[in-house]
Amino acid sequence: MFHLSPSILAADTANLAAAVRAVESGGADSLHIDIMDGHYVANYAFSPKTVTDLRRVTPLPLHVHLEVSNPDAVLPLFAAADMIIVQEDTAPDLVATLAVIRRLGCTAGVAVNRNRPVEALLPVLPLVDLLLVMAVEPGFGGQPFDARVLDKVRWLQQQRTLLNAAFAIGVDGGITPTTIVSALAAGADFFAVGSAAFAGDIVNAVRQLREVKARLC
């Protein structure tokens, strides 16, 4: 399994449809749409309308990453997405939140920040499709990759085997053709990639990220 999800936070939003077509041509598996509320993070990004608009221009699965203070209050607005990812520190009853996401007909992901213990998520591992490890502070693209989060990735890989579970192990933030190598080695198989996907020649940038995996096999 290898899943590449370009994060449109880094795209030229004045030419979003063209950027999306380019990542499609490069071999993207889905689109990562960060939703930011100016409160959980000191930035704003995208809205439910972005999701419904993108539906019309791409067959790619749409993954919504909620970087907002109160995701429970807005989940139904994102029912058009294929996957909804919540930050674990924003959902007081994570099990209930995941159940709502499923009732909306979406697959469910949970993201964990760098300074938070991933071990606390053990009870929800059988309930998620994706466990997304943040390798940067949420809020902005283009930050450097924090290699210390690879310990979380290794732990998740061990638990996945022990539990015989099927969730994807993702990394979001600072992924480049260089850092993706160590993330793959640690056991990650899902990557949200902003700046390194939408830089320069987008088709080639996405292809290059895929080729890293192909070369390692």
Q: How many whole angstroms separate alpha carbon 34 and alpha carbon 142?
A: 14
The yes or no reply on residue 174 touching ligand DX5 (CB under 6 A) is: yes
The yes or no reply on residue 136 touching ligand DX5 (CB under 6 A) is: yes
The yes or no reply on residue 34 touching ligand DX5 (CB under 6 A) is: yes
Based on its alpha-carbon atoms, the radius of gyration of the chain, rounded to whole angstroms, reads 16
> Is 172 known to be catalytic?
yes
The yes or no reply on residue 88 touching Zn ion (CB under 5 A) is: no
Q: Is 123 exposed, middle or buried (0-12, 13-18, 19+ CB in 10 A)?
A: exposed
Which of ligand DX5, Zn ion, none is residue 66 near (CB under 5 to 8 Å by kind)?
A: none
Q: How far is CA 155 from each of CA 45, 160, 169, 190, 191, rounded to the nearest angstrom? A: 31, 9, 10, 15, 17
Of 48-56, 115-123, 168-176, 203-211, which part binds ligand DX5 (CB under 6 A)?
168-176
Q: How many whole angstroms separate alpha carbon 145 and alpha carbon 40?
A: 21
> Which residues contact Zn ion (rule: CB under 5 A)?
34, 65, 172
Per CB under 6 A, residues contacting ligand DX5 are 7, 9-10, 32, 34, 65, 67, 136, 138-139, 141-143, 172-175, 192-196
